[in-house]
Amino acid sequence: MAISRVGRSRLAKVSLIGALAAGAIGGVAPMASASTSPTTNGCYSWWGNTSSDGHCTDPYVTVSGNYQNYADCYAETNSYSSWGWFGRGSTVNAWGTVECTWSVNSSWINFSG
Give this prediction's pTM.
Answer: 0.71
Q: Write out pLDDT tens, residues 28-57.
A: 555 557 899 999 999 999 999 999 999 999
Closest of 57, 77, 81 to residue 68, by C-alpha: 81
Q: What is the dihedral angle through the alpha carbons of 95, 96, 97, 102, rounded to the nearest 10 degrees?
A: -150
Q: How many domains does the chain have?
A: 1
Q: Tell me what the mean pLDDT of segment 99-105 comes to.
A: 97
- In angstroms, the CA 82 to CA 62 distance is 20
Q: Write out pLDDT tens, residues 55-66.
A: 999 889 999 999
Asked whether the CA dihedral 12, 60, 68, 4 is positive or negative, the reply is negative
Calculate the CA 9 to chain-centre distance.
Answer: 12
Q: Does the pLDDT value for residue 20 go beyond 60? A: no
Domain residues for the domain of 35 are 5-112
